[in-house]
Amino acid sequence: MNLDRRQFLSATAAMGAAAAVSPSLMAATTGEPPTRYPDPAWQVLDDRFKAYFIGNTPLQRHWSGGLWLEGPAWNAVGRYAVFSDIPRARQMRWDEVTEKVSVLREGVGHSNGNAFDNHGRLIACEHSPARVVRYEWDGTLTELTSHYQGKRLNAPNDLVVLANDAIIFTDPGYGAHVDYEGEKRPLELKPAIYYVDDGMDEPLLLSDELSKPNGVALSADGRQLYASDTAPSHFPDEPATISRWELAEDGKSLSNREVVVSSQNAETYDGIALDRDGNLWAGTAGGEGHDGISIFAPNNDRIGRILLPERCANLCFIGEHRDRLLMTASRSIYTLYTGTRGV
């Protein structure tokens, strides 16, 4: 066969392109086989959960370099999430576009829970020193609170931001039980839930009914507060629970507590979030078949699970539509698209 110069160059370019592409094609087909849809992470326990189940989306693990990961918070403008690696006293940053993880800040007082206020400023709960802080637009740090009635806070854990930028936070004391997550020392205060705003010299005690108040979340209308109690970590005879209160319009008082979830099969519930339909999504630990997320309907029935290979400490809804779940689970972060939107 005779080839003119143009045909020869075209054929050579085609062979070069094929040679360049073939290694990546081979790499894509020589690894472990992909997980068959639907992803086995989904567990539908009730037909009501089918509305939130997506059959052609995978559970993705983006990073697994942490020691104990907590406190994810979503920044919609920057399209990134902040989360904490508590033992390393680091705030980490996950970029939605590149899916890369980097260190945002070092030496942040064993930071745990994070949230962005209505002006885009990052609020963080620190274990040591035990305080709640705010990062201003210029990068400076404002201490919002560190003491109650002259005594040091235990180790602020998780928080929510109200419409007026006031903060409600939990203070169970985990960062004071072991140096690994803060500073080992006796607790000076009973574990409690507090309110604080910029005009206050010390926080306002909202409730000390829970043995270990942990994760906290608001309903869509901001009139109900949810909090988990990880009591079994220090009180084995007590159940792990999630409670709901009516929240006063000014955010400064709670009433009509109702236990909406109580532990089953030795499960504990940590970080929590609500979706726009009033379903409660709770980070769950309890061993294989339990670790991950438990989803409870508004009537408190468990309707589904998202199973993870690690204990899930916390979660938040992220993305343009807030329909993607970001989960901090032991050493790793995971995402999964859902059929709902977070509050």
| Alpha-carbon distance values, 40 to 13, 35, 308 (Å) | 44, 8, 10
Encode pLDDT of 69-114 as tens digits: 999 999 999 999 999 999 999 999 999 999 999 999 999 999 999 9
Structural domains of the chain, count:
2
Checking 143-149 for CB contacts under 8 A at 24+ apart, the result is: 144/196, 144/198, 145/194, 145/196, 145/200, 145/202, 145/203, 147/202, 148/189, 148/194, 148/202, 148/203, 148/205, 149/202
Encode pLDDT of 160-219 as tens digits: 999 999 999 999 999 999 999 999 999 999 999 999 999 999 999 999 999 999 999 999
In this structure, are 99 and 7 located in the same domain? no
Encode pLDDT of 309-341 as tens digits: 999 999 999 999 999 999 999 999 999 999 999
In this structure, are 193 and 313 located in the same domain? yes
Mean pLDDT of 276-289: 97
Domain of 16?
1-31
In this structure, are 13 and 47 located in the same domain? no
In this structure, are 111 and 256 located in the same domain? yes
Encode pLDDT of 286-312 as tens digits: 999 999 999 999 999 999 999 999 999
Does residue 343 lie within any of the structural domains?
no
Cβ–Cβ under 8 Å, residues 229 and 212: yes
CA distance 8 to 73: 57
Classify each residue of 225-248 as buried b or exposed e, where b means 16 or more C-beta atoms within 10 Å of its C-beta: bbbbbbbbbeeeebbbbbbbbebe
In this structure, are 119 and 1 located in the same domain? no
In this structure, are 77 and 205 located in the same domain? yes
In this structure, are 23 and 72 located in the same domain? no
Does residue 306 lie within any of the structural domains?
yes
Does residue 342 lie within any of the structural domains?
no
Does residue 209 lie within any of the structural domains?
yes
131: β partners? 126
| Alpha-carbon distance values, 128 to 87, 156, 174 (Å) | 11, 9, 11
In this structure, are 222 and 330 located in the same domain? yes
Q: Determine the distance from the C-alpha atom of residue 25 to the mean position of all C-alpha atoms in its chain, rounded to a whole number.
A: 36
Classify each residue of 204-218 as buried b or exposed e, where b means 16 or more C-beta atoms within 10 Å of its C-beta: bebbeebbbbbbbbb
Three-state SS across the chain? CCCCHHHHHHHHHHHHHHHHHHHHHHHHHHCCCCCCCCCCCEEECCHHHHHCCCCCCCCEEEECCCCCEEEEEEECCCCEEEEEEHHHCEEEEEECCCCCEEEEEECCCCEEEEEECCCCCEEEEECCCCEEEEECCCCCEEEEECEECCEECCCCCCEEECCCCCEEEEECCHHHCCHHHCCCCCCCCCCEEEEECCCCCCCEEEECCCCCEEEEEECCCCCEEEEEECHHHCCCCCCCEEEEEEECCCCCCEEEEEEEEECCCCCEEEEEEEECCCCEEEEEECCCCCCEEEEECCCCCEEEEEECCCCCCEEEEECCCCCEEEEEECCEEEEEECCCCEC
Question: The CATH number of the domain where 155 resides is what?
Answer: 2.120.10.30
In this structure, are 132 and 208 located in the same domain? yes
In this structure, are 12 and 44 located in the same domain? no
In this structure, are 44 and 109 located in the same domain? yes
CA distance 208 to 197: 19
Mean pLDDT of 278-285: 98
Encode pLDDT of 220-276 as tens digits: 999 999 999 999 999 999 999 999 999 999 999 999 999 999 997 789 999 999 999
In this structure, are 54 and 152 located in the same domain? yes
Residue found by looking up tokens 């705003």 in the block? 197
168: β partners? 160, 195
Encode pLDDT of 39-60 as tens digits: 999 999 999 999 999 999 999 9
Does residue 73 lie within any of the structural domains?
yes
